A and B are shown apart, each in its own frame.
Chain A
Amino acid sequence: KQEVTQIPAALSVPEGENLVLNCSFTDSAIYNLQWFRQDPGKGLTSLLLIQSSQREQTSGRLNASLDKSSGRSTLYIAASQPGDSATYLCAVDNAGNMLTFGGGTRLMVKP
């Protein structure tokens, strides 16, 4: 059974810092890994999708990397802003038809 772990569970940083969120998974035979953002009381917004054949994906100030052999992914946020404050969720798709989620990292960016 796939298990997904996100570290740290919570993070507070001053505005402008570059930061890294970590995601690890136990079964490396994955189809995709997807990073989501969730604001309080809201749904999940997809940030980046990394397919199993890819090493990284970039969107604006966000960069996600994938190392299948070690079972790890990182989400890098450059020049953080207060608007980046949210919970970030990592999810892994093993069979091409089902996601397993990590517990999330709750990020607070202070002005």
Chain B
Amino acid sequence: DAGITQSPRHKVTETGTPVTLRCHQTENHRYMYWYRQDPGHGLRLIHYSYGVKDTDKGEVSDGYSVSRSKTEDFLLTLESATSSQTSVYFCAISEGGHYGYTFGSGTRLTVV
């Protein structure tokens, strides 16, 4: 979707290194989310944001941190990447309430 972009699209990193994934939106939506998708586990919420500097944990937040300094950007940081964090990461945006969600194209992260 043109209103939400994720970068990078693919990344290979070594165990123990920090990694930051970026989500950028042009829709001015209030809510932004980070999900991970793994075989056998489906899509699970990592963290979400309900406004600038306002974030909260999701189901699988251990090992991840987030920041939102501007409405349009939501960063996901793996402080010290582990092999269990190899996954496809999706960003999503929403206006909340009875509005739906729009997802980005995903970032495929491999930790070796």
Contacts and interface: CB of A to CB of B under 8 A. Distances in A.
Given A101-B43, A103-B42, A96 B101 contact: no
Contacts, number: 54
A91 B1 CA distance: 18
A36 B98 contact: no
Chain A interface: which size bin? 20 to 34
B-side interface mostly: strand
A51 B90 contact: no
Interface of A: 31-32, 34, 36, 42-46, 49, 51-52, 89, 91, 93, 96-99, 101-104
21 contacts: A32-B98, A32-B100, A34-B100, A34-B101, A42-B105, A43-B105, A44-B90, A45-B103, A46-B101, A46-B102, A52-B98, A91-B43, A91-B101, A96-B97, A97-B31, A97-B50, A98-B33, A99-B33, A99-B101, A101-B44, A103-B42
Interface of B: 1, 31, 33, 42-45, 48, 50, 58, 90, 92, 94, 96-106
